[in-house]
Amino acid sequence: MGYATGVTLPYFLRKDGSLGPLAFAHRGFSLDGLENSIAAFRAAAELGTVHLETDVHTTSDGVLLVFHDSSLDRVTDSVGRVAELSAAEVSRARIGGVEPVPTFDELVSALPDARLNLDVKDWNSVGPMAAAIEKHGVHDRVLVTSFSDRRRRAVLARLSRRVASSAGSSLTALFVLLGPVLPAPLLRKLLAGVDVFQVPVRYGRFPVVTPGFVLRAHRLGRQVHVWTINDSAEMERLLDLGVDGIVSDRLDLLKEVLIRRGQWV
């Protein structure tokens, strides 16, 4: 099964400019739990990927952070909701007790070649995220995603240039349930501005990533990225299905799989 060939945005090209399976480092790479830290993102880059998956939240004074949770409690030595804290207060927190919470500006500056898969976690971050993309001119380096299609579209509407974007939960559910019966022209209209489906293998017991799902997406020129896969055998199975990207906490294992298959760039 081949890869989606209709996607031509620079974001989806590998290091050598080719199409093929993309290796996404989920919140960077850290076996020590230092997720979404500059150290974790650097470690992923040192392993050889340019595609980094991450999330954004915004402080009470409008600073865009690279961070997954709405609060600091789970992964840092501090507590409190990010949206209710100032950037100065967040700057004192340490991920795993050792690494600071990075701002978007810091990540873009630290890894100027990285391609960022950005999950917009809340409405408070819509404006700051669009402004940050414009400020740094990283339109070719970002993929905007959100579980909320409305939130994702709100970011895209504020940008001066086209960026890569993935379907939210509503559009994905529509494609899973009605994709087999809706005509292709209608599906293309519904998926305007969507370049990729980023999905789990299944929702509960309901399978999502099936041969039919991948084939339908590719026929419409959309890629399929699957999260979060940390088992080598499952990586192999999904790559055999023809998925275009895998998001993993274990970039080291994913790299080994892709090397064995002759697909690592």
| Residues with catalytic function | 26, 68
78: tokens are 């501090």
Helix (H) or strand (E) holding 247: strand 245-248
Residue with tokens 């989606």: 4
**Is 160 exposed, middle or buried, given 0-12, 13-18 or 19+ CB atoms closer than 10 A?**
exposed
Distance between CA 206 and CA 203 in Å, rounded? 5
**Neighbouring residues of 211: CB distance < 8 A, sequence distance ≥ 6:** 1, 241
Q: Return the closest-CA partner of residue 7 out of 182, 168, 165.
A: 165
Residue with tokens 């950005």: 118
**Neighbouring residues of 135: CB distance < 8 A, sequence distance ≥ 6:** 105
